[in-house]
Structure 1
Amino acid sequence: MIARGQFETELNRIKDEISEMAGKVEIAFLEAVDALYNQDLKLANKVLEGDRWIDKQEIDINNNTILTITKQQPVATDLRQLIISLRITTDLERMADHAKNIAESAIQLGESYQFSIHPAFKEMRDLAIEMIHTAMNAFQQEDVSIAGKLSGMDDRLDNQYENVIRELLAITAEDEGKTLSILQQAFVARYIERIGDHITNLGESILFLVKGESYKLN
């Protein structure tokens, strides 16, 4: 009974650490997009620096998870919970990498770029943030009905991405002088779209955790 209680304590601690990591990823994403729109290189560099701490947190969570597996030797659902924790931290770290990429695009464009940033990035960002909240809510509650909502949300984000790329290409066709700016913005659109894909992976992990079977939401 003591061993079971200790395992649940360790498992809850790992879940709390994952939620904390998700919060840091969300902040990095928000700050990266803000840096892009505000031409704020100081904020962009803050995102780059913060990514190192997120990388470290991923390593710490993974080490704690592996240590728990080694000590407790869980089976069945218990083992699945820990394996899913490893998968989720990997997706969160990759989301942070894309936030860092957006910050790097802001730096590439510089402090005084001439061309306006496409307004749809804010809509894409807001939808992706909503997806993060949905995924982490599903993770905390282990609720497959909440996780299942991510599929339709990801479809919406994909549609936004396709529309932005189409509009950016049209701008390039009209004015070749904007090509470098448009290229960086196309990268940003892709990074946000990829963040959505990784959030959808979180939903698939949660479905596997609860049902013990693999499902594709993307």
Structure 2
Amino acid sequence: MSVREKFHDDLKELQEKLLSLGKFAEGALSKSIDALEQQNIELALEIIDNDNEADLLYEEINDFSILLIAKQQPVAIDLRRIIVGIKIATNIERIADFAVNIAKATIRIGNEPLLQPIVYIKQMYEISIKMLRLSLEAYYDEDTLKAKKVADMDDQVDELYGQAIQELMKINLQYPELMAQITQLSFTCRYLERAADHMTNISEHIFYLVKGRQFDLNN
């Protein structure tokens, strides 16, 4: 195997590691919403306990990327592939952290009946999961059209976030005794909104990979 072929295989391995981290984050986010909706404390604790897997994979991606740069001294798009890999890994790891935060909010709410069905939260989650899957597809395919779709979907999450917070504030005025739960549900909405922002960041990194310059897709 030539040096170039070995480097190509290493880049594919980096890509696979990133996709594995993305799959983990998707699963953690999905479980966190299930735990909240079902008020399943055991599942919430499991999400928190398993977070070290994401941390270890993130560190592995960083170490592997640095080693690739040191050994191969890549230039142009190959260097961008490695740099973008590191940046995307950082965003995915943060998404997994938000799943942990939602799990902690679930634990803080405990067994107190939810004040209402978490409709807005579920809608934000469903769009966010689509964004995450599509952003990973865009990364794998190096497809800026898919990346742009992800960024466009972020506007929907932002709109739902605003509606959810308004609704929670109205409930708080009527039932101030529910302030503790309302606070945790508000935090959960914020975690999903921030997770969607990180998915948009992934899209921007894909544009940098393909086009060779930075794009702001949040405007």
Q: TM-score range by the shorter chain?
A: over 0.9
Residue type of the partner of 1:43?
Answer: L
Over residues 182-210 of structure 1, what are the superposed CA-to-partner deviations in whole Å (9 max), with x where a residue is unaligned? 01000000000000000000000000000
Q: Which stretch shifts more, 146-155 or 113-122?
A: 113-122
Secondary structure class of the residue paired with 2:216? coil
Residue type of the partner of 1:163?
Answer: Q
Q: What TM-score, normalized to structure 1? A: 0.98
Residues 1-218 of structure 1: matches in 2 within 5 Å?
Answer: 2-113=2-113, 115-218=115-218
Residue type of the partner of 2:167?
Answer: E
Q: Distance in 1 between matches of 2:129 and 2:106?
A: 20
Secondary structure class of the residue paired with 1:214? coil
1:116 to partner: Cα distance? 3.2
Over residues 159-200 of structure 1, what are the superposed CA-to-partner deviations in whole Å (9 max), with x where a residue is unaligned? 000000000000001111111110100000000000000000
Identity of aligned residues (%): 36
1:115 to partner: Cα distance? 2.6
Question: Aligned Cα RMSD in Å?
Answer: 1.0
- Report if aligned partners of 1:117, 1:185 keep a CA contact under 8 Å in 2: no
Over residues 82-135 of structure 1, what are the superposed CA-to-partner deviations in whole Å (9 max), with x where a residue is unaligned? 000000000001111111000000000113445334221111111000001110
Residue type of the partner of 2:43?
Answer: L
Residue type of the partner of 1:124?
Answer: M
Q: Distance in 1 between matches of 2:50 and 2:113?
A: 25
Q: Cα distance 1:179–1:105, how it changes in 2: closer, same or farther (>3 A)?
A: same
Where does structure 1 differ by over 3 angstroms across 4 or more consecutive aligned residues?
A: none
Q: Point out where structure 1 has 5 or more consecutive residues left out of the alignment.
A: none
